[in-house]
Amino acid sequence: MKHKITLIPGDGIGPEVAIAARRCIDATGVKIDWEEALAGQDALDKYGELLPQKTLDSIKKNKACLKGPISTPIGTGFRSVNVAIRHALDLYACLRPAKSYVGVKSYYKDIDLVVVRENSEDLYAGIEFEEGKPETKDLIAQIEKSSKKNIRPDSGISIKPISKFATQRIVKFAFEYALKAGRKKVTVVTKANIMKFTDGLFLNTAREVAKTYEGKIAFEEALVDNMAMQLVQKPKNYDVLVLPNLYGDILSDLCAGLVGGLGIAPGANIGDDMAVFEAVHGSAPKYKGQNKVNPVAMILSGVLMLQYIKEEDAAKRLENAVKKVIAEGKSVTYDFKADRNDPSAVGTSGMADAIISLL
């Protein structure tokens, strides 16, 4: 069977890692007709829009997309195109596995964690009120009236919506994933002791959903601050974590750190009938065009994509090839070497070539 898949190269190091991943995926023998689409600055330059409808339509039609990282200006300028894609397509589940690979420098061995992050709500809903604007002043006045609490007049405000609907579906997703992947436990992570009406709702809803999986998958609760410490001290006590958007974003980077960093952290944004696969890392603009960075996070995102399109055998072969190349430690990028200036390090495409040679 031939699959049609959307490919968004992204910017910065995006095109280099996306091409490396595409070549590795093609080398598995799975027949893919790649449909290239633009988003971010490239799309703005070519079509006058950051996220053209054409790009969204391509993903909706093909149901799967491999995406390179896209830059977002910090503090000012346009909002994240990466977040906009997830919102526009209702890709509500963000799946971020963190797994140890032999040969990767890291403080821990044998870690195998999966972070399931809610992707559509919370402080990332993009509902923000800028300091000093009339609508912000109105909002502050209204909140002060109804809550009887003071907000300083020079405040900016971000809204944190958390709904039962979105919580039910993400917690259900986490349990269903755990069942399918042969996992043992789901831990829900919140700050429900402080934010009772948002995190509290997330926790209560998770407890309800968990009841339907009793006897099949264990359920456990944790507070996010304590979880950050527990993950550093006893990461092997955890299996699948399910979290609201912001905590999920932060702790998934922490989990990536446990297994050797962003260079090997893949991700998937999954909705009811489509998904976008991308590395956890960003566009690392300082390395752009140098054929230097590690392509593994993007290739492992490709492994998740192959699993999603039910090409499990190819997914396994590709992951094994990646594992072997890393374990051998010869044809790997600078960040896998003991000395980052080791002249025997290969470039992005060289590492992809080594992986392809094993397929």
Distance CA 298, CA 266 (A): 6
Interaction between residue 122 and ligand NAD (CB under 6 A) = no
Burial 95-117 (b: 16+ CB within 10 A, else e): bbbbbbbebbeeeeeebebbbbb
Q: How far is the CB of 68 from ligand NAD (least distance, A)?
A: 7
Which of residues 28, 41, 55, 71 is near ligand NAD by CB under 6 A?
71
Instruction: Single out the catalytic residue among 11, 122, 249, 335.
Output: 249
Distance, CA of 212 to chain centre: 27
Annotated catalytic residue 133: no
Q: How far is the CB of 334 from ligand NAD (least distance, A)?
A: 8
Q: How far is the CB of 7 from ligand NAD (least distance, A)?
A: 14
Q: What kind and span of H or E run contains 166?
A: helix 164-180
Distance CA 185, CA 165 (A): 22
Cβ nearer to ligand NAD, comparing 72 with 291: 72
Could you write out the DSSP letters of every residue in 285-296? GGGTTSS-S--H
Annotated catalytic residue 54: no
Cβ nearer to ligand NAD, comparing 71 with 331: 71
Torsion of CA 147, 152, 158, 160, to 10 degrees: -30
Distance CA 336, CA 137 (A): 51
Which of residues 281, 306, 311, 318 is near ligand NAD by CB under 6 A?
281
Segment near ligand NAD (CB under 6 A); pick from 28-36, 176-184, 274-282, 350-358? 274-282
Output the six-digit token pair for 93. Answer: 């589940």
Q: How far is the CB of 52 from ligand NAD (least distance, A)?
A: 17
Interaction between residue 271 and ligand NAD (CB under 6 A) = no
Size of the site for ligand NAD (CB under 6 A): 17
Burial environment of residue 350 by CB neighbours within 10 A (0 to 12, 13 to 18, 19 or more): middle
Task: Give which of 307, 288, 299 is closest to 325, Cα–Cα.
Answer: 299
Kindly write out the interface string for residues 316-335 of this chain, putting x where it contacts ligand NAD by CB under 6 A and - elsewhere.
-------------------x
Which of residues 118, 199, 239, 278 is near ligand NAD by CB under 6 A?
278
- Going 216 to 222 to 228 to 232, the CA torsion angle's sign is negative
Which of residues 70, 162, 192, 242 is near ligand NAD by CB under 6 A?
70
Which residues 15-44 are close enough to bind ligand NAD by CB under 6 A?
Answer: 17
Interface with ligand NAD (CB under 6 A)? 17, 69-72, 82, 262-263, 278, 281-284, 293-294, 297, 335
Could you list the active site residues?
Answer: 124, 191, 225, 249
